[in-house]
Amino acid sequence: MIKKKLVFSGVQPTGNLHLGNYLGALKNFVSLQKEMNCIYCVVDLHAITTFQNPVELRKNVLETVASFIATGLNPSKSIIFNQSSVSGHTELAWILNCVSRIGWLNRMTQFKDKAGSDREKASVGLYIYPNLMAADILLYKATHVPVGADQKQHLELSRDIAQKFNNDFNCKDFFPLPEPLIPKNISRVMSLRDGTKKMSKSEESDYSRINLKDSADEIKKKIKKAKSDSDQIPDNHKELVQKPEASNLLNIYSEVSKISLEKVLNEMCGKEYSFLKTKLAELLIDEITPVGKEIKKLMEDKSHLEQILKKGTEKANIIAEENLKNIREKVGLI
């Protein structure tokens, strides 16, 4: 049986989309749109697993849609919608809560990181967040999921849940086992201040990340201030192993310039990191500021963005309802 390929991915509307989201996910979303049917979801129900100011949340949902469009997603090709408008996500999440195992969730490193030392005070939603993520994907029977490396473990859990459902309800191949599509060269963009931590929206210092809406001046300043290394640029990547910040800057340069890391090192070895930083800032300004400008422009017409969501929701709901009908039947729900 040849299975139809279907791409699904989600981004949380928690503000400040950054270079990590862009290189780890959004750019991939856009290239996949050319070859497969794609569904891209603004996952507001995931966002509220940690408290969100309601006014900010509403704005951030629209800004995430604006970021999708500004990076090149086409709403007449891909389905773009927000999670809470399609109630099938929560219904399937409940069913999958009953398939997924506590032992599996206990292994999730993102929960441990996000809940921190006071785990008892984390929301129950944060704990079962990966089950909702599995529901997002399986509700559409998606086969491919473009994400950054930080989501790999959640994807593996989604596969385990799909497999257990297929076994429990004796319906081999009912849910496809979704495959992660993780960028090969730069699957994890690191913080500009600490190369051992990923670039993240929630990191306190704005100097740790390049936001898609940053101005040319901000990008220049942030790259200039980014941690690097006091040695000169080496001629091979083995010497970068103990130098996470230098390695991160070189990887970003290689990814955005589309020049292999090997070639970059060949060309730049022996030079100070300030040389790389000047080139990198120029490159990022060219790549990122047009996206930021477009996001701001799109945010001036909120009703246009709402219209995109409305149309996307209608399309998503049709697929979701059809699949849910079969899922309910498999489980024995009337």
Radius of gyration of the chain (CA): 21
Give, as ranges, the residues between 6 and 25 that touch ligand TRP (CB under 6 A): 8-10, 12
Catalytic residue flag (residue 271): no
CB of 60 vs ligand AMP, minimal distance in Å:
11
Beta carbon nearer to ligand AMP, 209 or 220: 209
How many residues form the binding site for ligand AMP (CB under 6 A)?
A: 15
| Amino acid identity at 281 | A
CB of 267 vs ligand AMP, minimal distance in Å:
25
Task: Write a three-state SS string for 90-139.
Answer: HHHHHHHHCCCCHHHHCCCHHHHHHHCCCHHHCCHHHHHHHHHHHHHHHH
Beta carbon nearer to ligand AMP, 79 or 95: 79
| Residue of the chain from 30, 145, 223, 226 that contacts ligand TRP (CB under 6 A) | 145
Catalytic residue flag (residue 201): yes
State the binding partner of 136 from ligand AMP, ligand TRP, none, CB within 5 to 8 A by kind: ligand TRP
56 neighbors 15 (Cβ within 8 angstroms): yes
Q: What are phi and psi of 58, to 5 degrees?
A: -60, -45
3-state secondary structure of 189: coil
Give, as ranges, the residues between 13 and 52 that touch ligand AMP (CB under 6 A): 20-21, 24-25
Q: What are phi and psi of 29, to 5 degrees?
A: -55, -45
Contact between 248 and ligand TRP by CB under 6 A: the answer reads no
| Residue of the chain from 30, 48, 134, 147 that contacts ligand AMP (CB under 6 A) | 147
CB of 38 vs ligand TRP, minimal distance in Å:
12
The closest alpha carbon to 245, from 306, 279, 197, belongs to 197
| Residue of the chain from 188, 193, 220, 277 that contacts ligand AMP (CB under 6 A) | 188
Catalytic residue flag (residue 198): yes
State the binding partner of 137 from ligand AMP, ligand TRP, none, CB within 5 to 8 A by kind: ligand TRP
3-state secondary structure of 299: coil
Contact between 151 and ligand AMP by CB under 6 A: the answer reads yes
Q: Tell me the window of 55-63, 129-137, 223-231, 287-295 that interacts with ligand TRP (CB under 6 A).
A: 129-137
DSSP annotation string for 261-298: HHHHHHHHTTS-HHHHHHHHHHHHHHHHHHHHHHHHHH
State the binding partner of 199 from ligand AMP, ligand TRP, none, CB within 5 to 8 A by kind: ligand AMP
Token pair listed for 24: 């780890």
Active-site residue (options: 114, 164, 197, 221): 114
Region label for 110, one of left (φ > 0), alpha (ψ between -120 and 50) or beta (otherwise):
alpha
Token pair listed for 255: 């990814």
Q: Name the residues that contact ligand AMP, by CB under 6 A.
A: 11-12, 20-21, 24-25, 147-148, 150-151, 188-189, 198-199, 201
Please list the active-site residues.
114, 198, 201
